[in-house]
Amino acid sequence: MDRRRSGWMLSIVVPVMNEESAIDRFLEAVNHALDSIVPQLEILFVDDGSTDSTLAGLRQRASADSRVRVLSLTRNFGKEAAMTAGLDHARGDAVVPMDVDLQDPPEVIVEFIRLWRDQGYDMIYGIRGSRDEDTQAKRTSAGLFYRFFNRLAETPIPSNAGDFRLMDRRVVEAIKRLPERNRFMKGLFSWPGYRSIGVYYDRPARKSGTSKFNFWKLWNFAIDGLVSFSTWPLRIWMYFGAVIAGFAFLYILLLVGRVIVVGSDVPGYASLMTAILFFGGMQLLSVGILGEYVGRLFIEAKQRPLYLVAEDSLVIEDSFNAEKEAAGFDTVFGRVDGASDAS
């Protein structure tokens, strides 16, 4: 695709769940930042099983603005699945996944577009230059996670880079070929490679609503990422077992030597229980880590779809236009073919 051509399209993929209060503010910010820059804009909202009036509000916006498109899932499948659904259905030459809370400023997309069109980068990801809106505990844990992940994973991810990025169509097509059910999108975005660059930006506080992530969800999210992109949690037990076996062999030699030199010795209860509890705990821990991988194999083997679509506003609109054409209506001007304007 010629990125310098005039008629290119940008798709913004926005997963939402119970975000009715944020939609209008988000659309206003996007229009203000991109209205005069992007020739064709698609704003694809993916409703991930909202229980408030989010979906109804999105339908109203889609009926009033042809650039707004709504993809409704049958239930809550999780943000990673919702984002995957958005990438699968986005039509743009470039695709930008982002959140509706405006912590990812739409103005940064202008720089993304410049680097994509003028300098030929296939992926431009946003790097949070400051995280003042986060607590100290969250900033510390996030930093530790990125360092730990990049030491162990075969596919490193940029530190402090979230889902906010611009991807060329060929990058999106490559990601669509990755079929795994346990989705860690930060890793999947990095896996295809291609020419990439980061853009630093200051991340403001959330404009409306509340975050759907708590500590427990973030913890499980981190485990999913590590297990999905590294086999080190499995491999480390081979080395750990080898070290323990070496110490055990040396201790056996020590016991045999003491019996030969000073005679028989009755071991103490404390040392016996310590050894039993220690090795029992290590065995349970190793079985638990093994279970994480086995569980993911079980999920992958079932081959269930990542998500189910209940409604796509584009399909509804196309069906409506097709019915009008079949009935003899002009789908552009909304009048009967052959009828005069005066009638």
pTM above 0.85, yes or no: no
Is residue 108 within 8 A of residue 201, CB to CB? The reply is yes
The β-bridge relationship of strands 9-16 and 309-312 is unpaired
How is 267-309 classified by DSSP, letter by letter? PPHHHHHHHHHHHHHHHHHHHHHHHHHHHHHHHHHHT--S--E
More confidently predicted of 160 and 139 = 160
Rounded to whole angstroms, the Cα distance separating 123 from 95 reads 10
Average the pLDDT over each of 12-16, 124-128, 146-150, 279-283 and give the range with the smallest value: 146-150
pLDDT of residue 138: 63
Residue 116 above 70 pLDDT? yes
Residue 192 above 50 pLDDT? yes
The residues, ordered by sequence, that sit 6+ positions from 314 with a Cβ below 8 Å of its Cβ are 69
Helix then strand then coil, % of the chain, to nearest 5: 50, 15, 35
Q: What percent of the chain has pLDDT over 90?
A: 13
pLDDT of residue 81: 87
Q: How many CB atoms lie within 10 A of CB 329?
A: 16
How is 180-232 classified by DSSP, letter by letter? -SS--HHHHHHTT--SEEEEEEE-PPPSSS--S--HHHHHHHHHHHHHHH--H
* Partner residues linked to 10 by β-bridges: 41, 94
Rounded to whole angstroms, the Cα distance separating 77 from 85 reads 10
Residue 207 above 90 pLDDT? no
Largest pairwise CA distance in the chain: 118
**Could you tell me which of 91, 89, 101, 94 has the C-alpha nearest to residue 30?**
101
Q: Which two tokens stand for residue 141?
A: 């844990």
Query: Average pLDDT of 261-269?
Result: 61
Rounded to whole angstroms, the Cα distance separating 130 from 150 reads 20
The β-bridge relationship of strands 123-130 and 9-16 is unpaired
Render pLDDT for 27-58 as a digit per residue (tens, 0 to 9): 999 998 888 888 889 999 999 888 888 888 89
In the chain, beta strands by DSSP E: 9-16, 40-47, 68-73, 94-97, 123-130, 161-168, 196-202, 309-312
Residue 71 above 70 pLDDT? yes
Query: Average pLDDT of 142-165?
Result: 73
pLDDT of residue 217: 60
